[in-house]
A and B are shown apart, each in its own frame.
Chain A
Amino acid sequence: AQTVTQSQPEMSVQEAETVTLSCTYDTSESDYYLFWYKQPPSRQMILVIRQEAYKQQNATENRFSVNFQKAAKSFSLKISDSQLGDAAMYFCAYRRETSGSRLTFGEGTQLTVNP
């Protein structure tokens, strides 16, 4: 079974600084997708970024980028120029290429942004 591990239950960053959230996963598959979701206090889950395993290039979305290391099964999220609105719970998630949209989530990392 696939597992996703986020080893940092809590992280904090100063406004305008950069922070990196860690995620590792375990799978025997070669084709899969990885995601970072954000859950603010409103509880509404928001997709931040997505990476296809077959793509070597790391995904980027504005201030959000990933460091995807397929051999190491590592998928970290970097948030640049952190803003107060980035404060949220962040979840890393994995999906097999053949399993429809069923996701396996990590434990979550609570990010605090200090003004």
Chain B
Amino acid sequence: KNEVEQSPQNLTAQEGEFITINCSYSVGISALHWLQQHPGGGIVSLFMLSSGKKKHGRLIATINIQEKHSSLHITASHPRDSAVYICAVRSGGNQFYFGTGTSLTVIP
């Protein structure tokens, strides 16, 4: 069993839809990161969360430490949001565990 589970694996949405990607983890963590990987391989960090909620533009990330669960929301989705979104958790010893990613396609 993976330490980090994401759902859904694949997601297709119409432009403008509200999107939610879920992440559950089974290890103790210091922080949770949401990453975005575009075709071609480059990965960028979107958020780092240790509690509560963060918002950046149309992206919102929440975490529930007690339930070991995080969600990434995209409001008013746009085709340029099409990418693979990866949940990663960092343990107390700075070891990272990665989900397998959610492939998002937003159709115009």
Report whether chain A binds chain B: no
Question: Residues on A close to B: CB < 8 A?
Answer: none
B residues bordering A, Cβ < 8 Å?
Answer: none
